[in-house]
Amino acid sequence: MVGAFDTSGYNQERKTDPYIYQVGFGNTFASQAIPGVLPEGQNNPQNCKYDLYAEQLNGTPFTVPRASNQRTWLYRILPSVAHGGMVDTKQNPLLISDFSPLNPNVHINPHQVAWKSFKASASEKLDFIYGLRTIGGNGSAVSKDGMAFHVYAVNQSMEKTAFANVDGDLLFVPEEGRLDIQTELGSLMIGPGEIAVVQAGIKFKVAVPDGASQGAVYEVYGTHFTLPDLGPLGANGLANVRDFEHPVAGFDVEPSKWKVVYKIGGKLFETKRDHSPFDVVGWHGNYVPYKYDLSKFIIVQSANIDHLDPSVFCILVAKSKFPNINLMEFCALQQHYVTTRNTFRLPYYHRNASSEYIAFIRGGPGGYTGYTGLVPHGPPVKAWEAAVKEELDSTIANEGALITVMEPYQMLLLTDYAVSCTEYQLPPVSTWAYQPNFLKRIPEVNADLKAAGRPMIQ
Ligand SMILES: [Fe+2]
């Protein structure tokens, strides 16, 4: 590859990441692997430098307001249309993109659900495209409204194959093993503790330098991830804009047979090419993949009593078509100091409007668990008993742990695979053994009621 292995730059100290990045969020970036390759003062000159082809990739319809308009101009060896036509290809039957309640292959779920980490069997070679397994989702990719929760279990790098997900943006959350993601706009390396977003339509290839790798992928249809507003927090905090890292241009000169697999409405198609699709010599725009190191998150929490809602751990949101309501929010719980007094320090018992699906990246039981919105949950009995007697010193919560939480507002319907993969399913937590301690204290309550001149409990 030309351009992307320059060792000077923002993150040169990182041993596990050979790439350099441009930082910010929502910026219009410009990057060129050969100096001067970007046209001056225009996007589409009659002749591009070195006879490259100019191509625009839109992330939003042309006329959306400027603040949310996203597009990138690519200057490449061959245009994306240089292919032999779109044809059917091998399908991944575990990929689901239609979560209509009328679809008999997806299921409403009232229970707490939990799965162990998903693994690729050593006897089966699975690359990223065929290692994806959809767990649940809502809405539909075809109508560009909704989202999907996938896991991946991969033990093979993609070879001479690129993937373009037309259906939505993908948020990668590795649990084990690094992902080396080569995109048309340059390369990103992420491992457990980092995340990356590759937007709809951008071609990419996933290599697994550590061998067997697994994690989660959250896909949003018809919208893009953005940062939550900060309100009274001010201009800084949570995920800071300068910590989002975008690739620099890098291109392969590789005139050989390649395949590009497209996911369109959940179905896979392929095109053939006579040159690597990673042939973009320069680009400029604001529709650009990015990565983020979760350890850079600025944690905000109560410093005196109670604790704040888990939205304070929010890293990215994807806006829905309902005004002021997010399609999903992506949060990460990590170690932080706790100094509160007179406070039940575990999560309060709750019934939240949004559903929640948790991935235990580090610490905790591993794997995944989830609850449907407004279905009650909270700490188990033993944890409650310990928490109400706990001596409240200043301490560190979630020490060494990294737990990501994906909260969709619309109900997640689970796929056939999610409800039938018995080798991965874990039993629900038993929640029936709570004691109604109040009843033992009725004499004391009645004494207080009597003193207040109120009727007593009979
Ligand atoms: Fe919860």
Considering the domain boundaries, does residue 132 fall inside one? Answer: yes
Q: In this structure, is residue 445 part of a structural domain?
A: no
Query: How many Å apart are CA 411 and CA 409, to the nearest integer?
Result: 6
107 and 37 in a common domain: yes
* Among 11, 3, 2, CA closest to 291: 11
Compute the distance from residue 388 Cα to the ligand 1 centre, in Å.
Answer: 19
- Ligand 1 centroid, distance to 370 Cα (angstroms): 8
Within a domain: residue 122? Answer: yes
224 is catalytic: no
Binding-site residues: 350, 356, 377
Q: Tell me: pLDDT of 313 over 60.
A: yes
For residue 10, the model assigns a pLDDT of 38
The pLDDT, as a whole number, for residue 428 is 74
Q: Lowest-pLDDT range, 41-50, 52-61, 371-380, 410-419? A: 371-380
Both 133 and 231 in a single domain?
Answer: yes
A 10 A CB-CB count for 447 gives 11
Percent of the chain at pLDDT above 70? 96
Return left, alpha or beta for 24; rule: phi > 0 is left, psi -120 to 50 is alpha, else beta: left
107: confidence class by pLDDT, cuts 50, 70, 90: very high
Q: Are residues 115 and 40 in the same domain?
A: yes
CATH number at residue 435: 2.60.120.10
**How many residues are given for the chain?**
458
Strand-by-strand arrangement of the 132-140 sheet? 21-23, 244-247, 290-293, 194-198, 168-176, 213-221, 145-154, 132-140, 413-415, 106-107
Numbered residues of the known binding site for homogentisate: 377
C-alpha distance across the termini of the chain, in Å: 81
- The annotated binding site for Fe cation is made up of 350, 356, 377
On whether residue 415 sits in a domain, the answer given is: yes
Same-domain status, 240 and 321 = no
Asked whether residue 272 falls in the same domain as residue 364, the answer is: no
pLDDT score recorded for residue 414? 97
- Say if residue 367 is in the same domain as residue 319: yes
Domain boundary residue among 254, 272, 294?
Answer: 294
Of 294, 309, 328, which residue sits at a domain end? 294
Same-domain check for residues 334 and 409: yes
Query: Within a domain: residue 226?
Result: yes
- Can you tell me whether residue 215 is helix, strand or coil? strand
The 3-state DSSP class for residue 259 equals strand
Task: Mark whether 214 and 348 lie in a shared domain.
Answer: no
- 116: which residues sit within 8 A by CB, 6+ positions away? 366, 367, 424, 425, 426
User: Model confidence at 92, in pLDDT bands (50, 70, 90)?
Assistant: very high
Report the separation in Å between the CA atom of 309 and the middle of ligand 1, taken as the mean of its atom positions: 10
Query: Across the strands, what pairs with 22?
Result: 246
For residue 5, being part of any structural domain is answered with no
Mean pLDDT for 19-40 is 97
| 26 and 81 inside one domain | yes
> Contact 141/265 with Cβ under 8 angstroms?
yes
Has this prediction a pTM greater than 0.85?
yes
Range of the domain at 60: 12-294
Nearest to 110, CA basis, from 348, 359, 374: 374
Own/partner contacts of 319-323, CB < 8 Å, gap of 24 or more, are: 319/223, 319/226, 320/145, 320/223, 320/409, 320/410, 321/145, 321/222, 322/409
273 and 209 in contact (C-beta within 8 Å)? no
Given the residues 83, 224, 275, 307, the one annotated as active site: 307
**Confidence at residue 16, expressed as pLDDT on a 0 to 100 scale:** 80
Residue 358 CB partners (closer than 8 Å, separation 6+): 368, 369, 370, 403, 404, 405, 406
Q: What is the pLDDT of residue 273?
A: 95
Beta bridge partners of 181: 188, 206
* Angstrom distance (rounded) from CA 58 to CA 43: 14
- Cα of 377 vs centre of ligand 1, distance in Å, is 6
**Token pair for residue 457?**
């409990």
- For residue 376, report the distance from its CA to the centre of ligand 1, in Å: 8
pLDDT of 258 reads: 98
457 found inside a domain: no
Are 95 and 207 found together in one domain? Answer: yes
| pLDDT at residue 123, rounded to an integer | 92
Q: Are residues 265 and 325 in the same domain?
A: no
Instruction: Tell whether 56 and 157 lie within a shared domain.
Output: yes
Question: pLDDT, tens digit, for every residue of 369-382?
Answer: 999 999 999 999 99
Q: Domain total for the chain?
A: 2
Mean pLDDT of the residues in the chain: 94
Q: Is 120 within the bounds of a domain? A: yes
How far is ligand 1, taken at its centre, from the CA of residue 313, in Å?
13
- What pLDDT digit, counting tens, does each position of 152-209 carry? 999 999 999 999 999 999 999 999 999 999 999 999 999 999 999 999 999 999 999 9
